[in-house]
Amino acid sequence: MKEKMAKWKEKGTAFWTNRTKSQKGVFVGSILILILLIVGIALFTSSTKFVPLYNNLSLQEVGQIKTELDARGIPYELQDGGKTITVPEAQVDTLLVDLAGQGIPNSGNIDYSFFSENTSWGITDNEFNIMKLDAMQTELANLMKSIEGIENAKVMINMPEDPVFVSESTEQASASIVINTQPGYQFQGNQIDSLYHLVSKAVPNLPQDNIVIMNQYFEYYDRNSQTAFGTQDAHTYQQTVKKDIERDIQRRLQQMLGAMVGGENVIVSVTSDIDFTQENRTEELVEPVDLENMEGLPVSIETIQETYSGNPPVGGEPGTGEGDVPNYPAEEGGDNGEYELAKETINNEFNRIRKNIVESPYKVRDLGIQVAVDSVIDSDGNEPQYLTQADENTVEAGISSILESIIGTSIDKEYGEVIPEEKFSIVFQEFNGDSAVPQPSSPVIPLWLYIAGAVLLLIIIILIVLLLIRNKKEDEIEEVMEEAITAESSLEIPEMPENQDSESVIRRKQLEKIAKEKPEEFAKLLRSWIGEE
């Protein structure tokens, strides 16, 4: 075997050395083009487009679908934290029909269809009540999931036992509901009231006061109607308003900062000081119409002008005027005189304003915001990676600008100048999450390694096949040469005198010399002879 391998190696080396540069370039270029073509075809055929099969699944439903896909050998991918499962686009419709026919996914919840599909005479009252309660909870959760802004809902109802005696009073039911809201969706007051009303009417003997609704962030949804505020005492009302203000600011900041650094990487706390002083006052103001010139609106104008020139003699009889002494002549006037009178009276109307002012029931007097940011950016492995000082400065600058704007617009201007930098604090700290050390996952071989290995294996197989074909042809040529030499040696050639070299002897010697020195040319010569025969 070693001799044969050495022989193949020698033939391969001889074949390569006998080729020209152009032939070598063509050979190498052909191999490279073939490799690139195979790699391109493999990548193109292996790139499968995955589309969602189901969205917003529970872990139980994902497990059911995953088991079925594994049994069928269908590739799939999990996205959105395991809530969405994607499959090849060509198989989506078929899988939807097949899985629906098998009842997959099955959440395991009992609805009202259970009673029509599983009727039995052997069921007990306790079993019936349990299934009825489970069906009521499932139907109510499905009803709430159809409301805009609610992605999922879990309902827990506590139904009291029926009284044994008629005289006993019936206890009231209670309900606890957890809803998963869409990111950024805000419920209005009337929507929350409608939700309470819906649940109260769906469950027998369930007053609205016995209903508790909260979201996935442990935030409660209370009924905030105006009549409810009016019936509260002052302390409860003030605490409710204070809590609503802090919760609203905290929720908006949590959503905004969560979009910047990740919802799990930031925690916001808000404290406020609310002024509940109420003031009712009446103001009567008089203002000019023209504020620039401080003038009113003219209503009436009276102008008097008198002008007198010259001094004519006084007429009349002496002493006949009123107040004159009888028979006493008056003084003679001068020859010249001048008299002028100008008088103008303007009545202006001014704006008379009467204001009945009722101040707002509360004002934000002071505000404090505390923000904690996780300083760990990568916790994979045993050694976590922390934010650098430059990264912390960048994040702190972005958060500070947002907090300054919120504080500046939230605190009432009546309480003087506000310095936002004194109203908030930002700290970077490693959050205490799960203390368990993550187990190192087994290394996953990437797809391109499989493709490269398959291409190399295919190239090796092609080269081996070509080499075997070439060796087989050379073996056939050698066998033909050996047969020809054996046939010639088996012929009885009469000895001739040394001095008589016939033409056949000379040709024979030439053929033997060629066969020893140039076996390849001798093989070509034999093939041509065989072809002629």
3-state helix, strand, coil in the chain (%, to 5): 45, 20, 30
Span 492-502, average pLDDT: 48
Residues 74 and 373: their CA atoms lie apart, in Å, by 42
270/400 same-domain check:
yes
300/421 same-domain check:
no
Check whether 330 has a pLDDT greater than 60.
no
379/402 same-domain check:
yes
Which residues on neighbouring strands pair with residue 344, listed in sequence order? 303
φ, ψ of residue 151 in degrees (nearest 5): -85, -40
Model pLDDT, residue 84: 85
Residues 431 and 178: their CA atoms lie apart, in Å, by 26
The Cβ of residue 406 has, within 10 Å, a number of other Cβ atoms equal to 19
285/418 same-domain check:
no
Model pLDDT, residue 449: 66
Average pLDDT across the chain, whole number: 76
Residue 466, domain member (yes or no): no
pLDDT, tens digit (0-9, with 9 covering 90-100), for 76-120:
888 877 778 888 888 888 888 888 777 777 665 555 555 555 555
156/301 same-domain check:
no
CATH code, domain with 200: 3.30.300.30
Span 251-262, average pLDDT: 87
Instruction: Give the DSSP letter of residue 411.
Output: S
Residues 6 or more apart in contact with residue 433 via CB below 8 angstroms: 379
Handedness of CA 132, 134, 136, 142 (dihedral sign): negative
CATH code, domain with 424: 3.30.300
158/250 same-domain check:
no
207/142 same-domain check:
yes
The whole-model pTM stands at 0.34
Q: Which domain covers residue 212, as residue numbers?
A: 50-163+170-227
Whether the ω angle into residue 105 lies within 30 degrees of 0, i.e. cis, is yes
Phi-psi region of 492 (alpha: psi -120 to 50; beta: other; left: phi over 0): beta
The Cβ of residue 46 has, within 10 Å, a number of other Cβ atoms equal to 11
| Residue that the structure tokens 């910047």 belong to | 260
pLDDT, tens digit (0-9, with 9 covering 90-100), for 374-397:
888 766 556 778 888 888 889 899
Instruction: Give the DSSP letter of residue 495.
Output: P
Angle between helices 92-101 and 59-72 (to 10 degrees): 110
Residues 140 and 298: their CA atoms lie apart, in Å, by 72
Provide, rounded to the nearest whole percent, the portion of the chain with pLDDT above 70: 76
196/291 same-domain check:
no
Model pLDDT, residue 481: 66
Q: What is the total count of domains within the chain?
A: 3
